[in-house]
Structure formats: C-alpha cells, structure tokens
Structure 1
Amino acid sequence: MSMIPFSRVRLASCAAAALMALGVPAMAETIFTRPLIDFAGDVGISGPERSAIHQGGTAVITAEDMIPGQTVTLMRGTTVLNPAPITVDDKGSFSFTLPIDAEASLGLQPIVVIAENPAAAKVVELRISPDLPLQGAEKFDLTSAPAAPGLYQIVANAAGDAVFVTSAVGWPPVRESRLLRIDPATLKVLAEVAPAPAPATPKGGDGGVYAFYGVAVDNAHGRVWVSNTRQDTVAVYDQSDLKLIKQFEPGTVPHARDIVIDETNGRAYASATGTSGIMVFDTDTLEQLDTIKIASQVRNEDFSSMALDLDEAGGKLVTVSLTTPEAALIELTSGKVRIIPLSGAKAASGVAYDPQEGLIFVASQATDNLLIVKAETGEVLHDVPVGAGPLNVAFDPVGRLAYVANRVSGTIAVVDTKGQLVANLDAGSFPNQLRADGKGNVWAVNKSRGENDEAGDRIWRITPKR
C-alpha cells in the first residue's frame, strides 16, 4: 500500500470528479441522500496497541456504536485515504490501518470521516508525535518496584520516612482501591488501607467504594488528603496508621483531581476538573471554605482546572485548563486570579512552578510538548517536544530540572530551565504522575497495559547523580 503524505495535500483528479464538474451524477440521481441529524458512533485514532503514531509508522482508525451497514470514507484535505469504502460491521464497528509516510508533519492532522446510508460526517484528529530516542539514563540513579494495581498518584512526606501512593482499578462501580504507605528507601509497602463503601449513585446505581485517586500530604497535622474522583469528593487520613479522619460528602469537589496543601496558612486546595473552580478547605477545622473561581478569557468557553502546584512561600497557586489554552496564577493573599494564554498548548493537564525564576511549566496531552512560560509576562520562552501524550510535569528545585510523564510513549523526559532535553528515560507502561520531594528526588508512578505487565503498576525514585 502506498504512503499518504501528510506533510502536504495533493489535489486529486478522477473520473468521478470530472463528472461532478460537468454536473453529471456519477452513481445516483442525487448526492443528497438520507442524512442523520448527528453523527452516530465514536471514532478514535492511535498507534498499534494504543501506542503513539510516528513518522513512517501506522495509525489505526477505529469506530464503535455506528450504524451497521454504513459505508465510510476517510479524507485528509481532498485526498481519500481508504482505496475502497469501509463497511461498518453488524456490531457497529470498523478498523482501518493507515500508513504514515516518513515526511509527515508532526502535530494534529484533521481527518474527515464521511458516512453514508445514512449520511453524516465528523472531523477527528490524528496526532503524529515526536519519536525521541531514550537517552541520559546514566545521569540518574533510577530505582523501581511494583506496588499495586491501578496506580494513580504519589507524594513523599516532609519527614522523608514515607511515600504515599493511591490506586484504583477499573471503571465504576470501582471496588478495588488502596492507599499505600511506602518505605522511601526500600520501596516496600509498609501499610495500606482500602476505602469504605460509597453510597448509591444519584440514579440509584451501585456506588462501589470511595476509590483513591489524587493524594497530598499535610505534614503540619500528620495527615494525608485524597481525592475520591468517582464520588466527586475528598477525604483525610492519618499518615501514621492510615486511619480515616474525615470523609467529605459526595459532590463536595466535582471530579476531584489534584490536591495541594498550604501548611503555612492551613489550607488545602483541590481542583474540580470540568468546572472553573478550585475548592478550598481549612486544614485545622476540616471545613470547606469559599471556592476560587477562574474565568476563562476565551469567548464562550469555560476554564477547566487540572493539575495544581503551590508556591507556599510566595503565596501563589498555579493551575492549567484542559479545555482552553490557558494557565491561571492565583495570588492567595489577595485572591487575584491572572489568566495566562498558552500559545501552542491543547488539552493541557500538567503544571509545575519554579518561584526562583518565575517559570510555569505546562505539559499538554494533545500537542506533545512542554511549554516553559515566564509567569510575570506570559511569554512562552521555550516550546519543547517531549514525547507522546505528556500528562503531568514536576519541577525539582534542587536539580533545577522539569520531569514530564509521557503516558503514550512510556517515557519521562527531563528538561532544564533553558528548554534543553537533558534525558529521556524509559518509564515502562503509561507513566501517569510524578512529584518532586524538594530534596532532589522525583517520585513517579505508572499504570499497566493489563494483567502480567511487568513494566506497569510500578513506583519510581529518580535522583540526578551528583
């Protein structure tokens, strides 16, 4: 099969086009056949086995929940990608493998999916990602160990005697979840706790358990905060024995994601993804306070808060929006919220802040890059390709390096403040989240591709060699 050059669009000429130009119907009395009001089904594009799509590789275009018997034509610009129409099978699905030529341009490529019988169309994005070789592992001490199925987030406490990890397995109703206390020296599990059963859903369905996702430590009170994303809430546990201290009611934090703790001022902040809010709690009384609301500067769009990072000494909170190309810098004393446009970011999810140089680091899933932004001016200083599907970023103030978890490419990219790629480390299957401990170490977790995946569900300690 010949390669389709995505780096340029070639105008095609064919007999059918000539007939249409002459006003002669080629195959039917009308081109305006029976339409659908909305496109039926979901279409997705990835590399083989959910891998990244690279220049010279292949893309797999799949669909489900379409109408059996529909025929599908795929187009990039005016070029038809499938030599013959694809027929949706009796389960409403199809799969088509598309070769990508070596000259294809990186980035998001619009693919038009045209269905007939009945007629409908939609545009989906094919993302061609940078393929960066592994490098620089010799510059770091890397230690890894298995922990538990379904790892999500990790954080070390200030005392340096424990690392806390959350895990949750499967889709709702989730019934398997753990909060783990890990020995930071041996990476062995010291203690663990399972969450309590959750109440029924608003529609009366099985609520599963209060599964653990996000995690943060409150060292001033010796506590661990977790987000219960499926129940839209948060909970507080004791660091020493993992005993539940307080379970907040469902609905307290819509789609709770990240939590950060301001020990100086006794505040906990939790991002509510899908909303423009960051929920605030008093860490002394464990009472909820007024919500921080972030207004997008993009017309007719809403800011959707994702990752959080805190400059405790400077009184600043930083977040990014999943739905708009924006970051928000919040002055916690005054409550002032400043929106920073992010040129070159789409589906931003990870953020880190360096108060020393006033830099914001933004990892964006759809654009495969790390932006380094001057917080004071909003200027994008560096736009660094880091791998496929960068999900989260952490900044280590000791080594002065940013670490990016590239979920799709299975790597952790290490970038300095000048935008130079220092290393690209093998991080197994689906690196998910990572945090710096302020002592020169970065802690990371990854997820698995399924049962018996020895490269998945592991915790990592990464330390630059001195």
Structure 2
Amino acid sequence: MNTKHTSRKFTAFALAAMGVAGLSANTASAQQLVKTEKIGINSNVYQPVYNPKDGFVYVSGAGEQGSTGKVYKIDAKTLRTVDSIAVPESAPMGLGISVNTQTLYATNSRSGIVTAIDLATGKQTHIKADAEGRAPREIRVDESRDLVYASSVRGGGLWVIDAKTNKFLKFYGDLGRAITGHYVDEKNNIIYATAMGENEVVVVDGATGKVLKKFAAHGERPTNVHHDAKGNRLFVANQATENITVLDAETGELIKAIPTGKGALGVNHDPKRGKIYIANRHGRTVNVIDDKSLEVIKTFEIGALPNTVAINHKTGDVYVTNKQAVRERGENAPEPVPAPNADSISLIKL
C-alpha cells in the first residue's frame, strides 16, 4: 500500500481516538438524506446534472419502451418538477451539460444517437456517429476545449463531438471491450475509461485517441470512474465485486479497495469537502466515503435503486436519481422487489 495514503489513514484514526473533532467527522455526522421526490409516472429516470448557471437540476428520463422520453427540470431545493423537455426522437439516458454553451447532451442507446438541447432556445440537434453499432452511454464534457465525449459499450470507444457546432467529429475506437464510463482530466487532456469487458482502466490521449496505457481495475465489471485531480487518484465503481477501488492514476497501483453496497455504479467526488459518493443500484443505498481515510462514514437507505450522483460544488448538496426495480436476468430469476421510491430524485445535504 502507498505509504502516503497509509499515513493519512492513520492520522484520521488517531484524531478520532483522541476525541479531536475534525471537519470530516463533523460534516459526516451532519449529512442528512433530506428528501426524496417522485419524477413523473413511469419516467424511467437515469441521470442528474446540476447547472450552476441557472441553479436547476436536470434529470434524464427514457420513459417506457415506445413512449416519448423527457428531460425534467427540477427545483434544486424542493425537488419539485418545474418543467420538462419532450424528446420525441430519443429516450434520454446518459446526461451531461456544457456549462459554457448551456447545452444538455442526452444519450440514447436504443436509437444510437446523442441529442443536444439548447437550454436558451429549446432547439434539439440529433447527432449520429460515423458508423452503426456505436450506441452512446455516458457523457463527459471538456469545457476548456469545448468537446463532448460519449462512451460506447458495443463500439468499444468514445465519440468526440464539437460543443460549439454540435457536430460529430470522430470516434476513438479499439480502446477496449465494453467501454462503459469515462472521465476527462482537462488539465492534462487525458481520458480515463472503464473497459468493463476486460476489468481494466484505459488511459487515452485526448488529442489523438491513442491508448497510452492500460491497468487492472482491481475489481470486476468496472462501470464508472472519477478522477481526483489533487491526489491524482482514480475512484472506480465495480458492480460485481461490490466495491470502489482507489488507484494511483499514474501507475495503476491499488491504493485501497473499499467495500460498498451491492451493485456499485454511480461515483462522484466533492474535493472541497473531502467526500466520495457511491450509488449502489442493487443494494438500494448511497455510501459516503471520506477521501482521506478512505473509509465509509455514512450509508443512506434509499428505498429504490440509486443510479447516478450529481453535486452542487458550491453548496455541497448531492442529488441522486433512483430507478425502478427490474427482473434480474436468468430463467429462474426472482420477481423484483417493489421500490417505493422509484423514478425519483433524492437530496443529501450537510
């Protein structure tokens, strides 16, 4: 184990043993699951994003098969739905935002397109890749270069979209088997992507799409990844091994594997307050992890299937989307347990 991180962990435990109340401990005990509110009926919510310019939370909703999908505009304080944007040609799943251009980007793995929604005008632009079989999953935006990246599971790569023109530019292919999640290190123009089919993290040159290196995720079915710029660490959510693996972003060395709830999926980080948030879809919980001690300091029971996490980095408010339970795969799969808080959004505050 990295001695630097071991030292940090020891210090945190030593302070606690001596009864010294640090900032991390105070904020952990103060954090509360304030409320959970339903979003529409059979909305099939997926992902939230917080828009710091207008102060609203936007949530993608794919709807039922064959129905019109929507993006919902949510009051960040009350969690009430104040408006919705119908997307008739798509079923919004992954969602991202360019704060620079005030444009939402929604992926649709059913039809294989990315829809750009101009928040000022409502204009929608449907973007297609240069070949079939490259359906997009997750959106990340490089604000410094006005580029949008969409991961492609079946295509094994990344879309590159111009955020100013909303035109498809190119596809970074042959990155790995089942590229599910990714994160952009804007400062160094590097993209970290999870190759779920190979249990690896792929390090990609943002300028060329060249694979710089690959290393083990140290977990099974790595689905999403977040880069901690200050510590140059990666937080990788592994569904099958039900944990978060913390890796050195330069070497791929395992710093720590942190047990979470069942089906660890969504991961986000609040560096200002030193908190990592994990949405455990099948465990129906959200874990809060201290980013110094790398210990779970709080677990919230949601009552639905938490999927993804968004953060208002100014206030520290955390927003979690919760999906409906579905039947597991397999001939003898049991009936899904009802989820009373399904198709909803939860607010966690300090």
Query: Is the CA contact 1:393–1:433 (under 8 Å) kept in the aligned structure 2?
Result: yes
Per-residue deviation at 1:357? 0.2
Indicate whether 1:345 and 2:202 are aligned. Answer: no
Indicate whether 1:221 and 2:101 are aligned. Answer: yes
Query: Is the CA contact 2:127–2:166 (under 8 Å) kept in the aligned structure 1?
Result: no
Partner of 1:407: 281
Partner of 2:11: none
Per-residue deviation at 1:423? 1.1
Per-residue deviation at 1:160? 5.0
Counterpart Cα distance in 1 of 2:154 and 2:275: 30
Partner of 2:127: 248
Counterpart Cα distance in 2 of 1:260 and 1:272: 12
Counterpart Cα distance in 2 of 1:252 and 1:188: 38
2:33 maps to which of 117, 135, 142? 142
Counterpart Cα distance in 1 of 2:144 and 2:133: 23
Q: Identify if the C-alpha distance between structure 1 residues 221 and 425 changes in structure 2 by more than 3 Å, giving closer, same or farther.
A: same
Counterpart Cα distance in 2 of 1:284 and 1:159: 18
Partner of 2:50: 156
Per-residue deviation at 1:453? 4.7
Partner of 1:419: 294
1:179 maps to which of 71, 78, 103? 71
Q: Identify if the C-alpha distance between structure 1 residues 305 and 246 changes in structure 2 by more than 3 Å, giving closer, same or farther.
A: same
Query: Is the CA contact 1:137–1:425 (under 8 Å) kept in the aligned structure 2?
Result: no
Partner of 1:444: 320
Counterpart Cα distance in 1 of 2:103 and 2:152: 21
Counterpart Cα distance in 1 of 2:212 and 2:128: 31
Counterpart Cα distance in 2 of 1:235 and 1:253: 17
C-alpha distance after superposition, 1:345-397 (max 9, x if no partner):
11111211101000101111111111000011110100111011111211112
Per-residue deviation at 1:335? 4.3
**What count of residue pairs does the alignment treat as equivalent?**
308
Please list, as runs of the form range in 1=range in 2, the aligned pairs for 1:52-91 lying within 5 A after superposition: none
Partner of 1:74: none
Partner of 2:258: 384
Indicate whether 1:267 and 2:141 are aligned. Answer: no
Query: Is the CA contact 2:73–2:83 (under 8 Å) kept in the aligned structure 1?
Result: yes
Instruction: Please give the secondary structure, in 2, of the residue aligned with 1:323.
Output: helix
Query: Is the CA contact 1:393–1:402 (under 8 Å) kept in the aligned structure 2?
Result: yes
**Counterpart residue identity of residue 276, structure 1:** G
Partner of 1:116: none
Q: Identify if the C-alpha distance between structure 1 residues 253 and 186 changes in structure 2 by more than 3 Å, giving closer, same or farther.
A: farther
Counterpart Cα distance in 2 of 1:164 and 1:461: 13
Q: Which structure has the higher relative contact order (CA within 8 Å, separation 6+)?
A: 2
Counterpart Cα distance in 2 of 1:257 and 1:357: 27
**Counterpart residue identity of residue 155, structure 1:** V
Partner of 1:124: none
Per-residue deviation at 1:138? 4.3
Counterpart Cα distance in 2 of 1:414 and 1:294: 35
Instruction: Please give the secondary structure, in 2, of the residue aligned with 1:307.
Output: strand
Partner of 1:279: 159
**Counterpart residue identity of residue 364, structure 1:** N
Partner of 1:326: 200
Q: Identify if the C-alpha distance between structure 1 residues 222 and 286 changes in structure 2 by more than 3 Å, giving closer, same or farther.
A: same
Counterpart Cα distance in 2 of 1:281 and 1:345: 31
Q: Identify if the C-alpha distance between structure 1 residues 329 and 217 changes in structure 2 by more than 3 Å, giving closer, same or farther.
A: same
Counterpart Cα distance in 2 of 1:137 and 1:176: 40
Instruction: Please give the secondary structure, in 2, of the residue aligned with 1:388.
Output: coil
Higher alpha-carbon deviation: 223-232 or 397-406: 397-406
Partner of 1:430: 305
Per-residue deviation at 1:270? 0.4
Per-residue deviation at 1:448? 2.3
Counterpart Cα distance in 1 of 2:224 and 2:30: 24
2:179 maps to which of 287, 305, 308? 305
Instruction: Please give the secondary structure, in 2, of the residue aligned with 1:373.
Output: strand
**TM-score, normalising length from structure 2?**
0.81
Larger radius of gyration: 1
C-alpha distance after superposition, 1:329-356 (max 9, x if no partner):
2232464433332253111112111010
- Alignment gaps of 5+ in structure 1: 1-135, 198-209, 297-302
C-alpha distance after superposition, 1:175-203 (max 9, x if no partner):
14211111212212121122224xxxxxx
Counterpart Cα distance in 2 of 1:216 and 1:311: 16
Instruction: Please give the secondary structure, in 2, of the residue aligned with 1:226.
Output: strand
Cα-Cα RMSD: 2.3
Partner of 2:81: 189
Per-residue deviation at 1:275? 2.2
- Percent of pairs with identical residues: 25
Between structures 1 and 2, the one with greater strand share? 2
Per-residue deviation at 1:452? 8.4
Counterpart Cα distance in 1 of 2:242 and 2:300: 16
**TM-score, normalising length from structure 1?**
0.62
Counterpart Cα distance in 2 of 1:343 and 1:191: 40
2:342 maps to which of 456, 459, 465? 456
1:167 maps to which of 32, 50, 61? 61
